[in-house]
Amino acid sequence: MKKIEKKEDSSKDSLSFFKYLGPGLLVTVGFIDPGNWASNIAAGSGYGYHLLWMVTLSTFMLIVLQHNAAHLGIVTGLCLSEAASKYIHKTLKDIILFTAVTAAIATAMAEILGGAIALEMLFHIPIKIGSIIILCIVLFCEFTNAYKRIEKLIILFVSLIGFSFLFEICISDIHWHYAFIGWIKPEFPKHSMPVIMSVLGAVVMPHNLFLHSEIIQSRKWNLKEEAVIERQLKFEFKDTLFSMMIGWAINSAMILMAAATFYHPGDMKQINDLTTAGTMLSPLLGNIASIIFAVALLLAGISSSITAGMAGGTIFSGIFNEPYDISHKKTKYGVLITMLPAAFLILLIQSPFQGLIYSQMFLAIQLPITIFTQLYLTSSKKVMGKYANSTKLKILLFTIAIIVTFLNIALFITGF
């Protein structure tokens, strides 16, 4: 009887897990956004398999950090921004959240720019005009909640492109011996630090830490019953682990395909135009590869621009200790403060591809601030009660923060 009961409980747990699967996958869509594509293509085309290790390291960091951010949301019912406003001194909190908003702006710039590049590829619309079109579409979706109606379609289509990369590595001439070495052996080729940091920023995105701690609450997980909290924390970790591993695979596949298609040893000349990247899918999709790539890029740009706007709204409303609610003025202001400057910056950019790379690099520069803030909040018993970080987790989070800080220092010493 006990064995039967255990099997039934296990079956119920599996069904419950699939029911709660979602927040992690929404974050994972960020793995196939325009900025991410640009960073991975630059890494593979310019340095072959040598920078795969950063995808491995970044994904490990991401699993720990996203789970920790979601942990905060479940236990406290507060997003990272709200918790900072409530538990950190006002002046310091304002500085922290100001940098977080600028990171959201940098993210939004990359996403809008990616969508505009797609419009140029499909309809020959100039980048700057395309950016305004993407901005208008995104703001309409944000303020009318129209995005909810097409969200699943966008996630499905963009995910299919991500999985197309995974499928293509099975039929392409990948040097697996060098790939396996690349995944585990850190290397710093000459002039590679900006690309290394852009890969880091494209994977561990500061705005996603704020967003995950907010959207996790849409599942009503921050309940008061201890048994319920424990159960949901377990499901959340599985959701995060499952989703982030998919992200690792897709990121790796993009670099592998870029290396197989464009990399020439000794050349070190990386692709600097997304319009040529669609050729990577030619073995699978044939002559229409570039068109399908552009459509996916357009949908990815719109989708990720919307989540960047949501993150900006979350962070800004949190400054005033308010939750994200698009019907409230603070949230609307946050969305506008994120999206309008992002579109304006695109008007000043000379090289769209380099704009994508450097926007992701900026995210990596801001990242230590967000990580140390999160570490402080989730380690505090005043904030988390009995669910505060264990000593081992504190050490792990602190180590991650130090590694990211060290990489930033290396960027400023060797990258410019």
Instruction: Convert the pLDDT of each residue in 254-288 to its tens digit.
Output: 899 889 888 877 665 666 677 777 777 777 667 77
pLDDT at 153: 64
Average pLDDT, the chain: 83
Rounded CA-CA distance 357/378 in Å is: 31
Instruction: Give mean pLDDT, residues 20-43.
Output: 71
Q: Which residue, among 250, 209, 230, has the nearest Cα to 371 in the 3D structure?
A: 209
Question: What's the pLDDT band for 154 if we cut at 50, 70, 90?
Answer: low
215-259 confidence digits (pLDDT tens):
766 555 445 566 666 666 667 777 777 778 888 888 898 899 889
* Better-scored residue on pLDDT, 208 or 109: 109
Residue scoring higher pLDDT (415 or 239)? 239
Sign of CA dihedral 221, 223, 227, 228: negative
- List, for residues 88-140, the tens digit of each pLDDT value: 999 999 999 999 999 999 999 999 999 999 999 899 999 999 999 999 999 99
The mean pLDDT of 179-188, rounded to a whole number, is 94
Give the model's pLDDT for residue 28.
61
Position 144 pLDDT exceeds 70: yes
Q: What is the dihedral of CA 107, 110, 115, 121, to 10 degrees?
A: -160
DSSP letter for 380, please.
-
301's tokens = 């740009």
Cα distances from 44 to residues 186, 187, 355, in angstroms, run 15, 13, 18
* 6 pLDDT higher than 60: no
CB 378 within 8 Å of CB 71: yes
The yes-or-no verdict on residue 290 having pLDDT over 90 is no
Q: Are 119 and 280 in contact (CB under 8 A)?
A: no
Higher-confidence position of 173 and 103: 103
Q: For the ranges 21-25, 137-141, 170-174, which has the lowest average pLDDT?
A: 21-25
* pLDDT tens track for 372-383: 999 999 999 999
Helix axes 352-379, 34-47, angle to 10 degrees: 110
pLDDT tens track for 361-373 = 999 999 999 999 9
> C-alpha angle with apex 271: 268 to 277, nearest 5 degrees?
140
Reported pTM: 0.86
Pick the residue with more confidence: 186 or 36?
Answer: 186
Q: Which among 398, 349, 350, 355 is positioned nearest to 373, based on CA atoms?
A: 398
